[in-house]
Amino acid sequence: MAFDSVLPSVVDAIGSTPLIALDRLCAGLPGRVLGKLEFYGPGGSVKDRVARQVIDDAEASGALKPGGTVVELTSGNMGTGLAVVCAVRGYRMIAVMSAGNSIERRRMLESLGAVVELVPQAIGSIPGQVSGPDLELVEIRKRELVAELGAFCPDQFNNPSAVQAHEQTTGREILAQTGGKLDAFVALVGAGGTFIGTARALKRANPAIKCYPVEPATARFLALGSDGVTDPRHKLQGTGYVLTPPLWQPELADGFLAVNDADAIDTARLLATREGVFAGFSAGANVAGALQLARTCEDGTVIVTVICDTGLKYLSTDLWPA
């Protein structure tokens, strides 16, 4: 029996996330910040959209065959999204991640049936803070596994599908939810898919919309090159890798924002206690960046950002101390 309002699977629940006003955090400011709640996805993060898109496209092209194996480098969120899709569609999933990522992400992956290949951090790295050198070690192990197993690698850093997912869904949803009445978009850059894809869609609809990438304050590589990197170690997991994403489009950036660990943490905690939004480090950084604009913009400016993932993935970290 078919039911019109019943989805075929949890994969079909990805996307169409709510956009909410963060008016309590913006009280008294000239600008208004809206946050897109990406933890509403089944994998609890913005990466669910990319995971579905890359698997859809790999199936369509024949790059991923029935019963195949998927191997991906991840800080946890992309791997979790892939694990959700792979569980539904019958693929084996191997997530290659740094030991510096939070244990909740690892345990969630394993609970979804994925195999987690944990890579020790580079010498000198700080536990809980994944740096560029850590990511390089993870990349090496990922390539080894792909070669050994003949696996499909989504390769989110280089795969155009990662950008298209946000261009075709996130950007369009924001335009529909605001009626196109927004002035700026703010998002952290890791692999770059969220910023690039969403900015493409927004600027196509209205070139006057300003788009601002966010970077960790000690790793401002996109904004300033190597001169902007004073310490590649920071707490903003999934971003600030001190590299230019291969799919990066500099013309989409109308300026750059920098957020330090303390401001990201403080803002994430304020999101919870003032807005009832329980989110992670990256969401705190995004909203902190958006608030920077909201303090200095013209009256009535509407700024949209992304609440990347749930705070449940960080309960073992100092974001939520016992």
Give the DSSP H or E segment for 245.
none
Q: What's phi and psi for 215, nearest 5 deg?
A: -130, 155
Measured CA to CA, the distance from residue 257 to residue 133 in angstroms comes to 23
Query: Which alpha helices (H) appear in the chain, and where do they start and end?
Result: 47-61, 77-89, 103-111, 132-149, 160-165, 171-178, 193-205, 221-224, 261-275, 281-296
Measured CA to CA, the distance from residue 18 to residue 238 in angstroms comes to 22
Q: Which of 47, 203, 210, 313 is catalytic?
A: 47
- Per-residue tokens: 134: 């850590």
Residues 179-200: b if buried by 16+ CB within 10 A, e if exposed: eeebbbbbbbbbbbbbbbbbbb
Is 181 among the residues known to form the active site?
no
Which residue reads 């070690």 in tokens? 137
What dihedral angle (degrees, nearest 10) is formed by the CA atoms of 159, 163, 169, 171?
A: 180
Which residues are designated catalytic? Answer: 47
